[in-house]
Amino acid sequence: MNEPGAFTHNEIISQPSVWAQALQTYHAQAKGLTQFWQSQPVDQMVFTGCGSTYYLSLTAAALFQTLTGIPSVARPASELALFPDLVYPPDQRLMLSVISRSGETTETIEAVSVFRERTGGRVLAITCDSQSTLAKAADIVLAADFAQEQSFAQTRSFSSMLILAQALAGHLAGQDVKMLLSSLPEICDRLLSEYHDLSRQRGEAEKIDRFFFLGAGYQYGLACEAMLKMKEMSLSYSEAFHPLEFRHGPMSMVNENTLVVGLISDEAHRQEVVVLNHMRRLGGDILAIADFAGNEINALGEVIRLQSDLPPWARSALYLPNLQLMAYYRAIARGQNPDRPNNLAAVIKIDTFR
């Protein structure tokens, strides 16, 4: 029998090689995706998923709108299935991008059915199972079967599907995706090695009893995913907020037993540093993740430096691996098995949805 967490640990550290496969997969399908995209005009993109993949959708929608100029929104699949009138504007040519590791989640499949009934629009699936119900229901599929996991918590599946979404948005916007994203596996490998001990120390810190993950723009969905990893793997109190929103009430929870993790953006780093400095003065420990750290970021305390030299949209996946490791080590230190988080299953199904 495997040690508790063995699958999760292996899946986290396998990400460099799995990311390389994700990029190869995208490049092999790039021509077909271009033809699919150009075959019909699109007025709005709607991204959806459940749990982790809903958070992935938040980042994917932000990437897509910024790069392509096409208005893009993200909603939980259950909202699309149960409250479609709140999401689908009339007389708009819509495309639904559905993100799901298994391709079998009940709300996800229902969201596709309702979308077809309401709009007749096209469906793009991003999944880790090319033979799933979702894949068969979609018009076109980006599949990362090689990223599938034995653990319940998503790690490499999330980041691999994110890379596929990054590549899609960049490619359709005319970016040189092959050149820009090719360095991601190597950078990921360096980050996992260089900051392994820091990730472990932060995860095993006994004095910390609450975690807050702050991110804006592309990073908000990633902050939410980091929050979920910490919560589901280790059963720790963990929340995610936009940095400036954190000051409107939630910062009342900050004390000397708090770790505040800032996913620093290029665009708003000055404001984000102000917030993190404020939390430090309130007694919180600070961990910042930034591409390059100037004096004002270095002064915050511990910093994970991505040093990617990539544009913001191209580096999104790099924020995650060390935070996944931190959650893993937190779980092990607390006697939890991150392979099988409490009360969870790999695929969530509902017997009577409609």
pLDDT exceeds cutoff 70 at 338 = yes
pLDDT at residue 345 greater than cutoff 70: no
Q: Can you tell me which residue has the tokens 């009339």?
A: 90
Fold match flag (6-182 vs 186-333): yes
Q: How far apart are CA 297 and CA 294, in angstroms?
A: 5
Q: Residue 246: what residue type?
A: F
pLDDT confidence band for 340 (50 / 70 / 90): confident
The whole-number average pLDDT for the span 136-152 is 96
Domain ranges of the chain: 6-182, 186-333
Terminal-to-terminal C-alpha distance of the chain: 40
B/e letters for 221-241, b = 16+ CB within 10 Å, e = fewer, are bbbbbbbbbbbbbbbbebbbb
Arithmetic mean of pLDDT over the chain: 95
pLDDT tens digits, 201-252: 999 999 999 999 999 999 999 999 999 999 999 999 999 999 999 999 999 9
Give the model's confidence band at 265: pLDDT under 50 very low, under 70 low, under 90 confident, else very high. Answer: very high
Task: For residue range 277-314, list pLDDT tens digits in order.
Answer: 999 999 999 999 999 878 889 889 899 999 999 999 99
Q: For residue 41, what pLDDT is reported?
A: 94
346, pLDDT greater than 60? no
The pLDDT of 157-173, averaged and rounded, is: 98
Q: What percent of the chain has pLDDT over 70?
A: 96
Least confident of 70-84, 104-118, 195-209, 293-307: 293-307
Q: Which CATH superfamily is domain 186-333 in?
A: Glucose-6-phosphate isomerase like protein; domain 1 (3.40.50.10490)
Helices (H), ranges, 39-155? 52-68, 77-82, 106-119, 133-137
- Does residue 254 register a pLDDT over 80? yes
3 state DSSP class of 14? coil
Q: What are the counts of helices (DSSP H) followed by strands (DSSP E) for the chain? A: 14, 10
How far, in Å, CA of 117 to CA of 96, rounded?
Answer: 13
pLDDT tens-digit series, residues 183-208 = 999 999 999 999 999 999 999 999 99
Mean pLDDT along residues 71-86: 97
Asked whether the predicted pLDDT for residue 339 surpasses 60, the reply is yes
Structure tokens at 178: 């092959």
Q: What phi, psi does 227 have (nearest 5°)?
A: -60, -45
pTM for the full predicted model: 0.95
Question: Largest alpha-carbon pair distance within the chain?
Answer: 56
Q: How far apart are CA 291 and CA 186, in angstroms?
A: 15
State the burial class of residue 210 (Cβ atoms within 10 Å of its Cβ: 0-12, 13-18, 19+).
middle
**For residue 187, what are its two tokens?**
């950078």
* Distance in angstroms (rounded) separating the CA atoms of residues 25 and 43: 27
Identify the pLDDT of residue 341: 76
pLDDT for position 114? 97
- As its CATH architecture, domain 6-182 has 3-Layer(aba) Sandwich (3.40)
Predicted pLDDT of residue 348: 66
- What DSSP letter does each residue of 242-276 carry, written as one string? -TTGGGTTGGGG-STTEEEEEE--STTHHHHHHHH
